Amino acid sequence: MNRITRRRACKTLATLTAFPFVSGRSAGQGASGLPPVRTITRGPRHHWFGYYDKLEFDPMNRFVLANEVELEHRTPTADDTIRVGMVDTSDGDRWIELGKSRAWGWQQGCMLQWRPGSASEVVWNDREGDRHV
């Protein structure tokens, strides 16, 4: 008798669930239905954007905001600084530094965002000494 164990059932379910991602297809959708994707930043530094409810793209979809940091694989300390900038997708994905922040975390970054209703103003959190500004 070939008995199915819990471990084997979980392994089989995990394999079946991951198949659409590995194959590049979603249920009922071919590869041609996927939007185009490309990398717009390069190493050696690490880039990311957070948080999900913040505006990452300018109104014309030319500039993309991002955080840039040299460290990775550890919790940031109070002395760690990130670079705040944007990528110009119409100029060879050029990095444009806007400033720095000492008030940030991996999940939310420094709450970098386009000011709602503005095509040119960007805001983010920072810290001076022990004060958040």
Structural domain includes residue 40: no
Structural domain includes residue 120: yes
Structural domain includes residue 10: no
Structural domain includes residue 12: no
Structural domain that includes position 105: 46-132
Instruction: Write out the DSSP string of 68-132.
Output: EES--SSPPPTT--EEEEEEETTTTTEEEEEEEESS-BTTTBT--EEPTT-SS-EE---EETTEE
pLDDT tens digits, one per residue of 36-64:
999 999 999 999 998 889 999 999 999 99
Structural domain includes residue 104: yes
pLDDT tens digits, one per residue of 67-120:
999 988 899 998 999 999 999 999 999 999 999 999 999 999 999 999 988 989
Q: Quote the number of domains for the chain.
A: 1
Please state the pTM of the whole predicted model. 0.72
pLDDT at 130: 86
